[in-house]
Structure 1
Amino acid sequence: MLPGFAFAQSDSFTVRDVKFESQGIMLAGSIVNPEKPFAAVVIVHGSDPVKREMEFARRLADKGIAVLTYDKRGVGESGGVYVGPSVGTNNIDTANLNLLAQDADAAVKTFRTYLKDKKIPIGLVGFSQAGWIIPIVANKDPEIKFMVLFSCPTITTLEQLRFQFYTNGNTNFWENHTQAEALEHIKNDPDKYQFVPTDPKASLNTLSIPGLWLYGEKDIQIPVKLCIEHLNTFKAQGKPFEYVLFSKLGHSTSSRNDTEPFDIAVQWIKQKTLNSKSLK
């Protein structure tokens, strides 16, 4: 682990660039820290070759949440090799998802050393592909006290591919197809790629930390209604999992264009972290 190599300050938060090691390579990121944070989060990427999410981190910091965001493996200033991005490549095979989970876990451990308040709760916030990664990290690291998942699957990687090939990028898909048709396709469509699927439910089944999923009903990347069915099953078992469905949104639920999901996520984090009983 290396100390921060750059330091900047705004009216409401400071920004410190950091580097840290994960599985033999160096990852580069930034810590965005408000003066008196009530919570801290590490941002977990989606599937694209994404650099650190500075705009999103600043939005969180403005609300009182400290953030560590980093360039994805093989992207920007981070070492290693980025895998992907083509749909169906080993971008979402078990080995790569577990490697990305190890990167996120290293980020959490690094973040803790920089936080002045050692008791501040740390959570994970992620997008899309992070739905497979975050449960793996949270299952292994007791430091993780909560998780917020924007448009994240609760289905297996192979099931997600079946659905994505079915919608084929058609933004009008839901105008011409029913939920029943989509579910039938996901259950029975032959797989175009052969690899061991990752099932987030395996990790979610062992977790007892609060989780919030935010979905757009018009999503054509993941079958939202099926994902919600799984969450309802967990909720019936007493899991502290919640979700919010936005009828007008698609896969993008974290943009500045519609702040409602973001605002709900911030309020949820505040509620969960300020209520210590829910974090035990």
Structure 2
Amino acid sequence: MNKPLFSILFLWLSLIFLPKIFSQSTDFTIKDVKFESQGITLAGSILMPKNPFAAVVIIHGSDPVKREMEFAKRLVKEGIAVLTYDKRGVGESGGVYVGPSVGTNNIDTTNLNLLSHDANAAVNTFRTYLKDKKIPIGLVGFSQAGWIIPITASKNPQIEFMVLFSCPTITTLEQLRFQFYTNGNNNFWVNHTEADAREHTKNDPDRYQFVATDPKISLNTLSIPGLWLFGEKDIQIPVKMCIEQLNKFKVQGKPFEYTLFSALGHNTVFDSDTAPFDISIQWIKQKTLNIKKSKVSK
């Protein structure tokens, strides 16, 4: 049996025997909220089920996106409270959006740190709306969030778990080298090898000069559970290199896990294949149950 398939089956088998205290529900409320971050006002929505077992703040990818309402509804129907907000400079949120679509660098260290401040403010705001103060809060994000989530979690002890869809564990400059090499070619992996991609990612000259963000620095400080979900055909991040780094963390005893989907690309959470989302939900149920048990025993 190949390893990616085995890891998926193992996760499913280890999770399906969870207590049946988590049930799907279409009964939830939506409340619009505003909160301050670094001198500007961000706007979002809180989706609250009747009896949430966990709470998450959704962290954006690189695009100029508003609050992720459809994804939030998928989560809340599983019993998870959600705060999702318009990205800085987008929708009803103040500030300035930074990104290639407007000719600016959105993976500059300054911008990533600014977005982590926004995520931190969202977590602190969300906690005030949760009646049960013992409900674990986590971060769920996509792509660029792979740099933002570790920075945020390393600074805010209220964050107790993280789920990262197609998120890098390498530096911003390494990711850029890989992305330039694949050049948006969906057939990239038909004509290139892993060794090929690794060589370019490690050694290609950089087209831009800026201070790189290395998520390993923040991840080294964390002891909270983390789950990464990767698509093997990803042409935005070099998945095998990211997994290699996670394996090093696992050897060090970090509670980091990952699942690799051989048929998927970068959009692991929005693909028609719901397996990544389903596995993430079961994982959150398991980890938050463990977190609650550890709090009771203290």
* TM-score under structure 2 length normalisation: 0.89
**Aligned match of 2:83:** 68
**Aligned match of 1:157:** 172
- Work out whether 1:186 is the aligned partner of 2:201: yes
Higher relative contact order (CA 8 A, sep 6+): 2
Equivalent of residue 229 in structure 1, options 238, 244, 255: 244
Q: Which amino acid aligns with 1:272?
A: K
**Aligned match of 2:192:** 177
Change (3 A) 1:102 1:66: same
- Work out whether 1:51 is the aligned partner of 2:66: yes
Tell me how many residue pairs correspond in the alignment: 271
1:252 CA displacement: 0.3
Q: Which amino acid aligns with 1:167?
A: T
Residues of 2 paired with 1:74 and 1:11: CA distance?
Answer: 31
**Aligned match of 2:115:** 100
**Aligned match of 1:4:** none
**Secondary structure in 1 matching 2:106:** helix
**Secondary structure in 1 matching 2:152:** helix
**Aligned match of 2:215:** 200
**Secondary structure in 1 matching 2:162:** strand
1:89 CA displacement: 3.9
| 5+ residue gaps, structure 2 | 1-24
**Secondary structure in 1 matching 2:282:** helix
Residue pair 2:26, 2:77 contacting (<8 A) in 1 also = no
Residues of 2 paired with 1:87 and 1:238: CA distance?
Answer: 41
Residues of 2 paired with 1:89 and 1:132: CA distance?
Answer: 18
Equivalent of residue 258 in structure 1, options 273, 277, 284: 273
1:187 CA displacement: 1.1
**Secondary structure in 2 matching 1:41:** strand
1:126 CA displacement: 0.2
Q: Which amino acid aligns with 2:96?
A: V
Residues of 1 paired with 2:294 and 2:111: CA distance?
Answer: 32
* TM-score under structure 1 length normalisation: 0.94
**Aligned match of 1:148:** 163
1:87 CA displacement: 9.9
1:11 CA displacement: 4.5
Equivalent of residue 52 in structure 2, options 34, 37, 40: 37
Residues of 2 paired with 1:56 and 1:108: CA distance?
Answer: 18
Q: Which amino acid aligns with 1:210?
A: P
Q: CA RMSD in A?
A: 1.5
Q: Which runs of 4+ in 1 moved over 2 A?
A: 85-89, 276-280
Question: What does 1:78-117 correspond to in 2, within 5 Å?
Answer: 78-86=93-101, 89-117=104-132
Residues of 2 paired with 1:75 and 1:173: CA distance?
Answer: 32
Residue pair 1:122, 1:144 contacting (<8 A) in 2 also = yes
Question: What does 1:243-254 correspond to in 2, within 5 Å?
Answer: 243-254=258-269
Q: How much identity, in percent, do the aligned residues show? A: 82
Residue pair 1:18, 1:31 contacting (<8 A) in 2 also = yes
Residues of 1 paired with 2:88 and 2:75: CA distance?
Answer: 23
**Secondary structure in 1 matching 2:114:** helix
Residues of 2 paired with 1:278 and 1:58: CA distance?
Answer: 29
Q: Which amino acid aligns with 2:249?
A: F
Residues of 1 paired with 2:243 and 2:212: CA distance?
Answer: 19
Q: Which amino acid aligns with 1:252?
A: N
